Structures are given as structure tokens and as C-alpha cells.
Amino acid sequence: MDPSFDLAVWKYLYLMSKGKTLDGISRENNLSLASLLRKIRALEERLGTPLLTNTKPLRLTEDAVKCIPEIEKLNQSHKELLNCFNNGQIKPKCIQFAVAPGSLSAGEVNLVLMEFSKLYPAIEFQVEVGPKIQEIVEGSWEISTFTGELNSPDLEKLSRGNATYIPVASPLYIKRFGLPKDPAELINHFCAVFRGKSRAETTVLEKDGRIHPVRYQRCIKSTDILFLKNLVLQGQAIVIDLPLGHCAEEIIQGKLVPILDGWHRKSEPLWIVTSKKKWKEQHIRIFMQWYSQTWRNLLKSKARQVLPFIKPNTYKAIFNPEIQDR
């Protein structure tokens, strides 16, 4: 299991913030000290940042202390939901959840939902392709993800972080056609272009406050981000706006290479959304709060893993400050 999905580890960190020692926490939870430390170290590795100091007695690092308010919210939400089920206040529920097709097909959403279902087995999901914002406003759907600016008095939304887009090509493509470093060079390249409901087509790129319009020599457009990604992996095309979640692993493995020397599509906010009426239902709030935090952690983890493979001069241009934050 992904260590960040283990609510017990977050609880242990919270207990440390309240003055409890690792020895005391391990005794209270029937864990060996070694097992407790392994769980915390696994979470550190997953997040890419230290949570415990290197000197004895072991204490929380400054980064861990900064997260305590969010950890407290997570623990309290977990307690509230469990109490409701234990007291018979909530009957088994089925949540309607709409997700962008690329995210759904990539498999990470599936894994996240399965982890939530392990924690709350009485909650089931009806998952469909989204976004479904209008349906939420009309009352025919419950929850949807959304990318971009969203301002509506009829909606409640929680941040899932920010969408960070990376222009990439495969080593095979670069060997055959060269490495484009400037948007003006796109006229000489074949590009895979995403054009779907979840976000508008990229028309400009930016770098250090400068804006450059996008013009291609030839392109293929699709609503299927995974189809376009496969074209790029096969060395048939480049893409200027592949979301971080779709390319981090391939960049680390050397299958994809960042291009355009820091020129990129502007980052956009990511949301999980419901109606004001549905927000009043506790199981909806609990799921959205959990999903929001889990997705932010996932994006931060991917960013930290991929940063060593991004040129230093493109660091700030590519990654949103929220994702950089340690």
C-alpha cells in the first residue's frame, strides 16, 4: 500500500506533535519501535522529505510541524465518519464521481478509490467520465473533478493542487528530428495535441513573463491523452502540454525528455467539486476532504521524484510553487 494512504502513520505524527514519544506511541498501538520507525521512514520516502530529525531524541522536523493542522483535520474527519457508521447514523452509500477520461484510464484514480474503499467499505462508487459540472448544478450528479478557473455560487470546491504541464519528446524522436528549444521551432515538428472537455487546447506557451503563440507544421488532435502519449513514446510526435501525472515516471525512466527549455503551458488549479446541497452530507465531505489531500500529496511526490531529471534552468518555469513547497 502507498504509505501516504496509511492513516495510522499520520496519526502517529500527530501524537508526536502533542508531546508523545515514539516509545509511548509504539506501546499504545502494539507496535515494535522498529516497525513504527519503518512506517514513518516509508512515508518520508514517499513524500520525498524528512519528517523526523536525525538527532536523538527523534522529533518532528519543521516541515512535519507545518503539516500538523492538515493532519489533525484528516484524523478528525476519519473519526467522525467511523463514529457515524458505528452509531448507525449513516447507511451504506454510493457516491457518484466523475473524473477526466485520461486520469481515469491512467489507473491512479482507481488506486486512490480502492484505498478509500478499504478505509470505508460501506461507501461504494459509481464512476463515470467527466467533468460533470452542469449536472452537479442541476442536481443529477454528486461529485466531479475539474481543471481550471471555477467560480459558481452554486458549488463547493476543494483544491487538489495544480495541473503542471511539461513539453516532452522521446529520445528516438530527438535523435531523428532534433531537440526543439523554442516555441518558434514547433513549425518544424509534428505535434500531438490534446483537445478535450477537461481542458482547452493549448494556444500559447510562457516563460519568465513572456508569451509565445503556438504554431505547428503538422499535428494530430485527439480527446484521448493516452493515445497522444503513446504516439510520443513511439517517437512519432512531440507534445507541449503533457500533465505531470502522465509523464513523471517516463521522464525518470528516460523514456521521455523535457523540451523547449522552460517554455510551458501555464499551470491551472485542480478541483474536486460538489453542490452546496450535497456538501451538507457528511460522507460527501469526508470523501472530498480525503481525496483532496491525497491527490495533493500524490502530485507533490511526483514532482519531487522528477525534479532531479529536469534541467536546473527550467525548474521554476515548469513547477508551480505549491508543488515545489517542502
Contact 205, 183 (CB under 8 A): yes
**Is-same-fold flag (90-163+269-303; 166-264)?**
yes
Domain spanning 90-163+269-303: which CATH class is it, in words?
Answer: alpha beta
CA–CA dist 220, 48 (Å, integer): 37
The mean pLDDT value for 177-197 works out to 94
Q: Where do the H-state alpha helices sit in the chain?
A: 7-17, 22-28, 33-47, 62-66, 68-86, 101-106, 108-119, 133-138, 171-177, 225-233, 244-252, 276-279, 282-306, 315-318, 321-324
The mean pLDDT value for 101-110 works out to 77
CATH topology of domain 166-264: D-Maltodextrin-Binding Protein; domain 2 (3.40.190)
Q: What is the DSSP string of 224-277?
A: -HHHHHHHHHTTS-BEEEEEHHHHHHHHHTTSSEE-GGG-BPPPEEEEEEEEHH
Q: Which three cell numbers stand for residue 174?
A: 530527438
CA–CA dist 293, 112 (Å, integer): 11
- Residue 176 pLDDT class (50, 70, 90 cuts): very high
| Locus of grid cell 450528479 | 141
User: For residue 140, which amino acid is it?
Assistant: S
C-alpha angle 5-10-12 in degrees, rounded to nearest 5: 135
Query: Residue 269: pLDDT above 60?
Result: yes
Query: Residue 326: pLDDT above 50?
Result: no
Q: Higher-confidence residue: 58 or 211?
A: 211
The mean pLDDT value for 36-45 works out to 88
CA–CA dist 155, 81 (Å, integer): 23
pLDDT of residue 18: 87
Residue 305, sorted as left (phi over 0), alpha (psi -120 to 50) or beta, turns out to be: alpha
Contact 233, 256 (CB under 8 A): yes
β pairing state of 239-243 and 165-169: antiparallel
Give pLDDT tens digits for 128-142: 998 999 999 999 999
CA–CA dist 60, 14 (Å, integer): 10
Looking at the chain, how many residues does it have? 326
CA–CA dist 74, 116 (Å, integer): 13
Which of 22-26, 87-91, 227-231, 282-286 is predicted with the least confidence, judged by mean pLDDT? 87-91
The mean pLDDT value for 69-87 works out to 73
CA–CA dist 1, 245 (Å, integer): 19
Query: Residue 324: pLDDT above 60?
Result: no
pLDDT of residue 240: 96
Query: Residue 41: pLDDT above 50?
Result: yes
- Residue 246 pLDDT class (50, 70, 90 cuts): very high
Query: Residue 323: pLDDT above 80?
Result: no
Give pLDDT tens digits for 278-310: 999 989 999 999 999 899 888 888 888 888 888
Identify the architecture of domain 3-66 in CATH: Orthogonal Bundle (1.10)
Kindly report whether the global pTM for this prediction surpasses the value 0.85.
no
Query: Residue 210: pLDDT above 90?
Result: yes
Domain locations along the chain = 3-66, 90-163+269-303, 166-264
Query: Residue 123: pLDDT above 80?
Result: yes
- Residue 238 pLDDT class (50, 70, 90 cuts): very high
Q: What is the DSSP string of 169-191?
A: E-HHHHHHH----SGGGGGGSEE
Phi and psi, residue 207, nearest 5°? -165, 125
Average pLDDT, the chain: 87
The mean pLDDT value for 235-260 works out to 94
Which of 48-52, 95-99, 164-168 is predicted with the least confidence, judged by mean pLDDT? 48-52
pLDDT of residue 312: 65
Alpha-carbon distances, residue 17 vs 25, 46, 54, 260, 289 (angstroms): 12, 21, 17, 44, 22
Q: Higher-confidence residue: 195 or 81?
A: 195
Residue 254, sorted as left (phi over 0), alpha (psi -120 to 50) or beta, turns out to be: left
Listed ranges 20-29, 60-69, 111-120, 175-184; the one with the highest mean pLDDT: 175-184
User: For residue 165, which amino acid is it?
Assistant: Y
Query: Residue 217: pLDDT above 90?
Result: no
